[in-house]
Amino acid sequence: MKRRSVGVVAAALAEMNRSQIQVPRRKIQELLSSENANTRWLALEWLAARPDRGDLPLIAPVLHDQNVNIRERATAYADVLRPR
């Protein structure tokens, strides 16, 4: 999962989902700090599909991401996680 290629990351996540391979959540959370915006997006999507309030502090940096799509997705996910 340390690879920079978004294709490799996407294929790995898809295979883990298909094969129901358990991956430590922190490994996906680490991808949020990738230099590659597409990798950050994939990590955010994976996490949002499996919501966990423990993600809230870890998505804080992507709430201010340079990429507007990532910022908006992170904001939407944060809204789901915040208590009402």
With a cut of 80, say whether residue 1 has pLDDT above it: no
pLDDT number for residue 4: 62
For residue 21, the number of C-alpha atoms closer than 13 Å in the C-beta half-sphere is 8
Residue 82's contacts (CB-CB under 8 Å, 6 or more residues apart) are 56
Output the pLDDT for position 33: 93
* pLDDT surpasses 60 at 22: yes
C-alpha 6/C-alpha 36 separation (Å) is 7
SS3 call for 66: coil
- Classify domain 6-81 by CATH architecture: Alpha Horseshoe (1.25)
Supply the pTM of this predicted model. 0.85
pLDDT tens per residue, range 23-70: 889 999 999 999 999 999 999 999 999 999 999 999 999 999 999 999
Rg (CA), the chain: 12
- Domains of the chain, residue spans: 6-81
On the 0-12 / 13-18 / 19+ scale of CB atoms within 10 A, 74 is buried
